Chains A and B, each alone.
Chain A
């Protein structure tokens, strides 16, 4: 099969899966089999594309031309390849997890859940393989819309309210700011294709570049740069598998991925540094890193704490993009994958605690670690990777991000990065520590609580092992990320 077909197949498979899921709504076992089957298929297809991918000849597929000169185009390049690999692998693992979780938790409307989940992943792959800004925007909006029912899943007032915030901020920023930025870009450059070195250099007055760049950075609400971060905590009303895959991996990474794409292929790193477009924006990202970490410290709800941690970690990637040097871009791209594996482990653990012990607040989790050793063991590994300690994958991305700051002489930002690492320790490590060594608030021991369902444990184990593996063998992601850094 030709590469073009594989590319289209990888995007279409989740949609076909969604149709299958809806058709088999009366038979839950078969329905879940369809989810697993399409997740496996997508994973195999994306890995195959990766094996064949050599970056020498970029290949593109044009689907349609809705506006003169603006095509719906897909293409494979390193950054998209990296994102697609992460998303498709983690969809498979999350599907295993979700089946155990949703059944144990006796959630309603599971057909809708699995179908929308598949559509969301299809849209994510569409973003990863988008060949120009307009195609990316199309899938970006589709991702927002398809995840809305997942956030509103519970259907009660709290869920509706959370989903409203979610949608309001994501659609609001994308229509109000991102679309405007895209239109201005098109008006100035006459094209929206992703090109090495950017399309704006020499066409946009450098004085305006900072403003346009700001429209992009804030317009991409999915990157959750403050003050447009409120949607992510609001989305935590969703079932945990959604928070795990979509709000730690697919949706948020789609945001920072778009930021990286815009930085590298629309502005071009040289244009950003020469025009000073990033001068003041880096402080927004820096402030987000610190503030979100500080807010995370005071959250007692575990998922909320993880959500604010995600906001903070996303700004690492945004910062890497804004610095626009080869090393910082390498760090940013690596962080997409490293943070994905670590944060999904943490969310899996949070969901397992909810399912097995029915606890959401950290203050109630004292002593729980002895009843659920695997869950909290995985949580510990995930935390250490987020903090960026060896021997866990999270170290590499932080290393290169830090290197990037040293290269550009941004000492203040480097201290922000280090302070944030300390804050990570302060808000993550007490959770497993209290669980293993602390006592329950009322002094009783948790002898009635057992571990989460096996499928949840399997998923958690795989992702936490991946965190370790990525320290010793980060090569696939590293090589892809190196390509982006401008060796091409």
Chain B
């Protein structure tokens, strides 16, 4: 019974839970309720992944309406993997959220905060689960609207500006997406992804299809903060409440990358990518994104902002992987979605722990703080090494696949960009390490204590996951390879 409805339950449970949370009394009750829901979804998502791990798919007809008329949830390894990332990160963020939310959000707002958080969670899960492009748009809007609210709830008044900036850019992106969906609907008369794929193949050279494709790609590129449409992201992540920085940085852009993969490879096809030379555009934008965002990160003196710029760079790597349009390249993208969620989650958690203790993430206020918060510092250090791509960490696995994909196609310039991006990440991460540990404290502020255990435990779970998935890649690589095969991508040959 549960197993048959698994993919719907994953969306419906948090959707129903959200309004319930809003009605709960303020305090710790909404937190506990949300915690239970996210963990429940996490367990269900693991279950779902085990079903599709062997390369099979689940097709679920909503309300018994057969596709393509009704909405279909079509789950394969890729959907299940993204759902796992989203629910796993939510489940690990919630224990962390308790103390930071008490610190940053007024008590009377907590029920609303967790309700909106659940809505955002529903949105992201829904995007990952659905097999219908319009349904996907709806969930995208749910997640976007709720994240505007969540970012706007940040402590500083600048959070409102940041949220507004994101709102404008996000709405433009959504509009583009909707126009794109409208155009391909006009051409094919269907919204089901599998059906779209079938019907688009004979008419891939139609001008309307091309226009629709461009609108879709630009819309999604805005959502995933692809260079040069990335400017909304740094402020949004910087001023959001700590728990939200963690959750959004680890999931939101990854889900957008997933949408890009789905639209490009499932709805259209790899052949369409090649005949329109979109792969070349992806490669260029990805390469520039890596360079520009990594260089940008170097010139900032604020941990959260540096991490935000680094997120843009990491997403650019994922786009780069898509641009290779080969098994190795897209495998690298999918593996990096997972690994980046681990490293960025851990890093933003550590940054949040510092904000909890110091009230700021600016360098001038946190010089030498790593000595007083050794565990937090060690977490930043190890997750930072993973971000750089030091062997023995998850980041190295991603980098290895990106490099292999580049070398396979003898794309020497791109290979150099990937390595140079790594070197730039050494520079900006080491700026953080030096400031936190080796710099003498400048102000005579009272000594602070280590972050509380409720922050350290989730943080270190992710840190250890960074090491575990750097040594044992059975899960990540096998899921990625299955997912890539189902996307219809073949190995590169000249």
Contacts and interface: CB of A to CB of B under 8 A. Distances in A.
B221 interface: no
A176 to B, nearest CB: 5
Given A67-B400, A67-B477, A160-B438, A175 B470 contact: no
Interface string A176-192: 10011001101100000
Given A66-B470, A180-B415, A175 B389 contact: yes
Q: Is the interface of A mostly helix, strand, loop or mixed?
A: helix
Interface in B420-471: 420, 422-423, 426, 430, 434, 438-440, 470-471
A129 to B, nearest CB: 16
Nearest to B477: A68
A172 B422 CA distance: 9
A187 B391 contact: no
Given A137-B391, A167-B430, A179 B477 contact: no
Contacts of A155: 438, 440
Q: Which of A66, A145, A167, A184 is packed against the most chain B CB atoms within 10 Å?
A: A66
Contact of A66 (B403, B439, B473): B473
A204 interface: no
Contact of B390 (A64, A68, A145, A176): A145
A152 interface: yes
B480 to A, nearest CB: 12
A72 interface: yes
Given A155-B438, A183-B400, A187-B408, A67 B423 contact: no
A187 B407 contact: yes
Nearest to A183: B403
A142 interface: yes
Nearest to B412: A180
B389 A66 contact: no
Contact of A172 (B389, B407, B423, B438): B423
B89 interface: no
Nearest to B391: A138
Contact of A141 (B390, B403, B430, B472): B390
Interface string B395-412: 001001001100110000
Interface in A438-462: none
A186 B401 CA distance: 12
A275 B467 CA distance: 40
Given A66-B397, A160-B438, A183 B404 contact: yes
A321 interface: no
B68 interface: no
A152 B404 CA distance: 35
Interface in A33-70: 64, 66-68
A138 B430 contact: no
A67 B473 contact: yes
Contacts of A145: 385, 390
A377 B439 CA distance: 40
A359 interface: no
Interface in A115-169: 134, 137-138, 141-142, 145, 152, 155, 159-160, 163-164, 167-168
Contacts of B389: 175
A92 B431 CA distance: 35
Interface in B466-486: 470-473, 477
B296 interface: no
A212 interface: no
Contacts of A134: 391
B419 A180 contact: yes
B404 A187 contact: yes
Q: Is the interface of B mostly helix, strand, loop or mixed?
A: helix
Interface in B214-253: none
Interface residues of B, number: 28
Interface in B57-78: none
A64 B477 contact: no
Q: Which of B392, B397, B420, B423 is packed against the most chain A CB atoms within 10 Å?
A: B392
Nearest to A186: B404
Contacts of A186: 404
A34 B385 CA distance: 28
B66 to A, nearest CB: 40
A168 B434 CA distance: 13
Contacts of A141: 390-392
Contact of A164 (B415, B423, B430): B430
Interface in B110-143: none
B471 A64 contact: yes
A207 to B, nearest CB: 15
A167 B423 CA distance: 11
A64 B467 CA distance: 12
A391 to B, nearest CB: 44
Given A66-B470, A145-B390, A172 B426 contact: yes
Nearest to B410: A187
Nearest to A153: B438
A171 interface: yes
Contacts of A175: 388-389, 419, 422-423, 426
B431 to A, nearest CB: 10
A183 B407 contact: yes
Contact of A160 (B397, B434, B471): B434
A15 to B, nearest CB: 13
A273 to B, nearest CB: 27
B404 A142 contact: no
Nearest to A176: B419
Given A172-B423, A179-B419, A180-B415, A66 B472 contact: yes
B120 to A, nearest CB: 34
A183 B400 CA distance: 8
Contact of B397 (A67, A72, A172, A179): A67
Interface string B307-342: 000000000000000000000000000000000000
Contacts of A171: 388, 423, 426
Nearest to A63: B471
A39 B138 CA distance: 63
A483 to B, nearest CB: 28
A183 B416 CA distance: 12
Contacts of B477: 67-68
A138 B392 contact: yes
A72 B471 contact: yes
Contacts of B438: 152, 155, 159-160, 163
Contacts of B439: 160
A24 to B, nearest CB: 16
A152 B473 CA distance: 34
A179 B397 CA distance: 13
Nearest to A187: B407
Interface of B: 385, 388-392, 397, 400, 403-404, 407-408, 415, 419-420, 422-423, 426, 430, 434, 438-440, 470-473, 477
14 contacts: A66-B470, A66-B471, A66-B473, A142-B392, A145-B390, A167-B426, A167-B430, A168-B426, A175-B419, A175-B422, A175-B423, A176-B423, A180-B415, A180-B419
Given A145-B385, A159-B438, A180-B415, 4 more contacts: A160-B439, A171-B388, A176-B422, A187-B404
Closest 4 A/B residue pairs (Cβ): A138-B391, A187-B407, A64-B471, A183-B403
